[in-house]
Amino acid sequence: MSKPKQARSVARLAAVQALYQMEVSGVGVEAVIREFTDHRFDRGIEGDGEGDPLAAADEAFFAELVRGVVESQREIDAAVVRRLAAGWKLDRLDATVRAILRSGAYELSHRGDVPVEVVIDEYVELAKSFFEGPEPGFVNGALDKVAQDVRAG
């Protein structure tokens, strides 16, 4: 995997983690971005072996994803909810699945420079890293439908 591609993958993982952290702890967007950039991303600092930092990340992309999801959350949630099964509400989903769908939907709707296939593949792989059940397939189907809505034409 090329360095820029890997850096974006790490940024997506961090964005999902940050969105999850914000939801469960109530911490604000700028505070969580600062925490990740100050303490979680690789800075080339010798570590103590505990709490190893994430590999090199595209930090600007990470911050854009997190801020973008927060700023566009109403629109993003509406795009996702439109594609959930009848009667399902976003709050019935696991918080990690919500974070994955929100980040993926943001990227699909606001980052036209990133191919649909790349966005969907990346977030399905993230879902696979968190879940062994049906969640990756669910993420695939939901983001595919969101992509059809937001990238039509």
Q: What is the pLDDT of residues 13-58, one digit of tens each?
A: 999 999 999 999 999 999 999 999 888 776 544 444 444 455 678 9
Read off the amino acid at residue 100: I
Cα 89 to its chain centre, rounded Å, is 19
Which is more confident, 4 or 126? 126
* Residues pairing with 54 in the sheet: 41
pLDDT of residue 50: 45
Asked if 14 and 40 touch (Cβ cutoff 8 Å), the reply is yes
Name the band, by pLDDT with cuts 50, 70 and 90, for residue 3.
low
Which pTM was predicted? 0.88
